[in-house]
């Protein structure tokens, strides 16, 4: 099996957060910090088979103390290596069934963080569906990769999509911020307007 064309982590998170905001505006979105964190973690979880360190540049894990970051990276790399050695990359972990099972068990057990972890998982698969490699969308029944776009990782197309999504996220999530943060952002925007204009 050849190398897969992987969408980058920030784009995966942007797709999940934008999807969460869309659901939130319809009255069905994540509520509380834990749900948003679970949605973000779920959007990255299927790439546990990717073989990379989890404390990459831009990751919030980089903010943790060195020894904790080191342990998390070692554990993550070990789990990733085992999964990749047994199943390969973008196979079993990219079956939508795992996201649906997390959602089912989350509702069954009354654990909404599991629901949002599963939703993030599904948003990840949606993102990879938009790459040139596709995903095994019907796995485990049919494991052939399905794709809906010729988008390549690191391309201008992915950059534009990610930039647009992050812009929309910051714009539409303003009302979800605590009042003190809203005031700080308002002051910053006012200052920038004075400096630029």
**What is the distance between the alpha carbons of residues 90 and 76, in angstroms, rounded to a whole number?**
16
**72 located within any domain:** no
**84 located within any domain:** no
pTM for the whole thing?
Answer: 0.80
**70 located within any domain:** no
Question: Count of domains in the chain?
Answer: 1
- The whole domain housing 32 covers 9-51+89-196
**73 located within any domain:** no
Count CB atoms within 10 A of the CB of residue 150: 11
3-state secondary structure of 26: coil
Q: Give residue-wise pLDDT tens across range 49-58.
A: 876 655 554 4
According to the model, what pLDDT value does residue 85 have? 86
**15 located within any domain:** yes
**104 located within any domain:** yes
**113 located within any domain:** yes
According to the model, what pLDDT value does residue 52 have? 61
3-state secondary structure of 12: helix
Residues 6+ apart with CB under 8 A from 15: 43, 123, 124, 126, 127, 165
**What is the distance between the alpha carbons of residues 136 and 105, in angstroms, rounded to a whole number?**
23
Q: Give residue-wise pLDDT tens across range 170-181.
A: 888 888 777 887
**183 located within any domain:** yes
Q: Using H for helix, E for strand and C for coil, what is the string for 78-102?
A: HHHHHHHHHHCCCCHHHCHHHHHHH
Count CB atoms within 10 A of the CB of residue 142: 9
> 41: buried, middle or exposed (CB in 10 Å: 19+, 13-18, 0-12)?
middle
Region 84-97 average pLDDT: 88
Please give the structure tokens belonging to residue 121. Answer: 């998982």
């Amino acid at each position: 099996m050849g190398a897969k064309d992987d969408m980058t982590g920030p784009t995966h998170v942007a797709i999940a957060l934008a999807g969460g905001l869309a659901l939130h505006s319809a009255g069905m979105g994540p509520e509380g910090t834990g749900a948003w964190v679970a949605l973000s973690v779920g959007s990255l979880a299927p790439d546990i088979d990717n073989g990379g360190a989890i404390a990459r540049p831009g990751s919030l894990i980089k903010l943790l103390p060195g020894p904790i970051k080191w342990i998390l990276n070692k554990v993550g790399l070990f789990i990733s290596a085992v999964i990749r050695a047994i199943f390969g990359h973008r196979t079993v972990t990219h079956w939508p069934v795992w996201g649906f099972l997390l959602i089912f068990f989350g509702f069954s057990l009354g654990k909404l963080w599991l629901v949002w972890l599963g939703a993030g998982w599904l948003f990840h698969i949606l993102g990879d569906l938009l790459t040139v490699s596709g995903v095994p969308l019907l796995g485990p029944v049919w494991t052939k990769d399905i794709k809906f776009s010729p988008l390549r990782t690191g391309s201008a197309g992915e950059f534009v999509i990610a930039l647009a999504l992050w812009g929309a996220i910051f714009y539409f999530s303003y009302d979800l911020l605590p009042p003190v943060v809203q005031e700080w952002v308002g002051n910053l925007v006012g200052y920038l307007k004075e400096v630029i204009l």
